[in-house]
Amino acid sequence: MMQTHTGLIGLGTMGAALALNIAEKGFPIAVWNRTGSVTVAFQATAGDLAARITPTETLAGFVQAITPPRAIILMVPAGQPVDDQLAALAPLLGPEDLVIDAGNANFRDTNRRDAAGLSFRFMGIGVSGGEEGARHGPAIMAGGPDQAWAQMKPVLQAIAARAEDATPCADHMGPSGAGHFVKAVHNGIEYADMQMISEVYGVMRDGMGMAAAQIAPVFARWNEGVLQSYLVEISGQVAAAADPVGGGAMLDVIVDAAGQKGTGRWTAVEAQHLAAPVPVIEAAVMARNVSARRAERAAGEARFGKAEAVVDLSLADLEQAMIAGKILCYAQGFAMMTAAASEFDWALDMPAIARVWRAGCIIRSSMLNDMAQALAEDAGRNLILAPFFAGLLDESLPALRRVVAAGALQGLPLPALSAGLAWFDLMRQARGTANMVQGQRDFFGAHGFDRLDGKDLRHGPWGQAG
């Protein structure tokens, strides 16, 4: 048996892929799964990498197979299963051993676990890229003590994706739940990016009468320009895919209801706590929730009719609208992380975050190189004010306005693109209209009114105004 300092618990799709990646990069690894047959099957299919993998039958045997100081990666479902696994490991580990939660944990759970006085060291890391990324190179956002990062840095940077400049897309975000927080914001941006692509697809389909086969080359062409990204690339591939049963477009038979795992929702919720507006992400979460209400949407269409009007837009308009929407969405995400850094006393390195996202993760795109540069110039400046992105917005915002206006006039739903434009217009008003809101609040306070229902607190069952 090869000596190893690293182990992994949980051989599901992501865990198995990550274990093979670690072994392939030259690090022997011990593995354990609660269901023993899964471990056996994993080892049997590991091929040439099996020599670097030590399968174990029991949790105690798993721990014993790892040479101290141990580093144990948990790839188990978020929530209570992580707490249960930590409790099971506690009597088997020493104070120098390290446990890494690499699942999609809520950062507040990671903060709680870190502060719980565990008998071993603990860190949480966000891993993005799906099964393919886990196997061949994900983007990794690590949170935890500096010494824990120092211990895991050689492994994590070895298995991570590489950007075009060969930089590993793995870095230390900060203490405690910082890594899982950055991963949640990544996922929120992912929701928004996917939603904006879907909205533009909807305009082409319902407003321009284009079939999926006609839409596919449009996305492919956009992927060769400013919008070059993994999501635009696969959108073209999805639009081009044929139904293997009926032979038509696969998009035309996919059920119109989008699932979600909750991380985008966490981003929207935390943004409210931080008073950091992320309306594009919030709109994307809302749109997914509405998509699940298929019966209600069918009833709405039956009563009010479906929007299928021809819009006077060009494909160039849609491309430019996407460019503007993407900039506005990412600007909101980075502003939210800046607010979190202040709130939680984290020294989040914004240029480093942008660099980590350049490869391996779902939102990887060529634009992130420019974002990293802009943030390196001034990390505290909103991205829309960086000269490069301000210039892109000067060029693309007129098209975004045309697209949003056409959608509103013709009844084509564009919640994320519309939210981005509304946010931008608020951000460009030195003197806005919030003085009216504040005036209303002041009036309520001065006259003893309940701001929720307008009742006068000086009368009736509400008692006397103070």
For residue 408, which of 332, 315, 307 has the smallest C-alpha distance?
307
Give residue 79's identity as a one-letter amino acid code: G
Query: 440-444 — which CB contacts under 8 Å span 24+ positions?
Result: none
What are the tokens at 426? 């608020």
Q: What is the pLDDT of residue 463?
A: 42
Q: What is the pLDDT of residue 449?
A: 55
User: pLDDT confidence of 461, banded at 50, 70, 90?
Assistant: very low
Q: What is the pLDDT of residue 372?
A: 97
Q: What is the pLDDT of residue 1?
A: 55
Cα–Cα dist 336/269, whole Å: 12
Where residue 396 falls (left for φ over 0; alpha for ψ -120 to 50; beta otherwise) is alpha
User: pLDDT confidence of 241, banded at 50, 70, 90?
Assistant: very high
Q: Which residue has the higher pLDDT, 225 or 429?
A: 225
Proportion of the chain above pLDDT 70, given as a percent: 94
**Which 3 state secondary structure label does DSSP give 193?**
helix
Mean pLDDT of 423-445: 80
Strands 139-143 vs 121-128: parallel, antiparallel or unpaired: antiparallel
Cα–Cα dist 202/210, whole Å: 9
Give me the active site residues, please.
Answer: 183, 190
Q: What is the pLDDT of residues 340-386, one digit of tens each?
A: 999 999 999 999 999 999 999 999 999 999 999 999 999 999 999 99
Mean pLDDT of 312-327: 97
- pLDDT of residue 446 exceeding 70, the answer is no
CA distances from 242 to 165, 200, 209, 265 (A): 36, 21, 19, 32
Cα–Cα dist 252/5, whole Å: 50
CA distances from 41 to 34, 59, 150 (A): 13, 18, 33
Give residue 232's identity as a one-letter amino acid code: V
- pLDDT mean across residues, the chain: 92
Cα–Cα dist 452/46, whole Å: 62
Cα–Cα dist 408/413, whole Å: 7
- pLDDT of residue 103 exceeding 60, the answer is yes
- In sequence order, the β-bridge partners of residue 30 are 7, 54
Q: What is the pLDDT of residue 338?
A: 97
Q: What is the pLDDT of residues 27-59, one digit of tens each?
A: 999 999 999 999 999 999 999 999 999 999 999
pTM of model > 0.75:
yes
Q: What is the pLDDT of residues 191-213, one digit of tens each?
A: 999 999 999 999 999 999 999 99
- pLDDT of residue 2 exceeding 70, the answer is no
